Amino acid sequence: MKIVSVGEITIDYYLKQDFIFVGGISLNFAVQAKRSGAEVASLVSIVGDEPEGRWVLDTLAREQVDHSHVAMLAGKTATCDIEVFSDAERVFPPGGYHENALSQLSLTSKVKAFINQHDIVASQYNGDEQGSIVIQLLKMPKNGLKRVIDFGDWSDGRQKNLPEGLFQKIDLAFFSGDEDTIDRLRPIAQTEACQFVVTLGAAGSVAFTADGLVRQAAIPVENRVDSTGCGDAFQGAFTVNYFNNRPIQTALEAGAVHASKVLTHYGAFDQPTYVPTE
């Protein structure tokens, strides 16, 4: 199985703990997919040509993630401020995200050819911010390529402004939310061939099937540290298991196990914190 993740790499600044980690949804997904058994996990993104950007590439090499299409451009890598509290919950303070060099990410013909060398492509739909990348991906001839899209947080009660027919082009869709999210998605999931999965934080996760809902409890973690990246870990593990034709319950359990491991340390995956160098 060959998986390529397209989108975000960030340098994560932990404001309360004064830690700095490599992160970003797309990078986290690629790392966790590789750790979950993907034969090849690749990443398409951009970093800046400063020491932090080189640190990202070193991290990807260590994790055995193919970063041949992570471009290094003049400027800074995207950054994200994070506040983690004593209960392991985290927030992203307003104004704490800076796209920087990542704003130049585009799907050139060369990048599209690279994506087509894989079995699965994964990305995130965040409306105007990343929507254009997803739409470009979905316009590519399918040629057997499976599409996995993370639709982010739907717990606010508002359905995102989605193009008509979007789910017809997607094989696996992830959402985070609550029981109301499940109720809102149910009529959509019943009419689409796309596999819908909702993560519920401490309440576990749910997958829609033709026979109804399949639920998975969260794995108990005694000493919770940081929830950053739990969703990415869940999605990476679920995706690998699901497309390896394992039962839905098995894929949900694998996602839950990987998410629980992330809760035990700071950072979206266990890694050394960064010490800036010139």
> What is the pTM assigned to this prediction?
0.94
Q: Which residues of 237-260 are buried (b: 16+ CB within 10 A; e: fewer)?
A: bbbbbbbeeeebeebbbbbbebbb
Angle at 27 between CA 23 and CA 32, to 5 degrees: 100
First to last CA, the chain: 38
DSSP for 189-234, please give it: HTT-SSEEEEE-GGG-EEEEETTEEEEEPPPP-SS----TTHHHHH
Distance between CA atoms of 165 and 132, rounded to whole angstroms? 16
CATH number of 2-262: 3.40.1190.20
- The sign one gets for the Cα dihedral 223, 229, 234, 236 is negative
Question: Consecutive 10-residue runs of the chain (278 residues): their mean pLDDT?
Answer: 97 94 97 98 98 96 98 97 93 96 95 97 78 86 93 78 84 96 92 95 95 95 94 98 97 97 95 72
**Domain map (residue ranges) of the chain:** 2-262
**Spatial distance between the Cα atoms of 13 and 127, rounded to a whole number of angstroms:** 24
H or E element in which residue 185 lies = helix 179-189
Cβ–Cβ < 8 Å for 201, 166: no
Helix axes 25-35, 230-243, angle to 10 degrees: 50
pLDDT at 275: 66
> Which pLDDT score is estimated for 159?
64
Q: Comparing C-alpha atoms, which of 236, 226, 235 is closest to residue 270?
A: 226
Question: What is the rounded distance in angstroms from the CA atom of residue 268 to the CA atom of residue 262?
Answer: 6
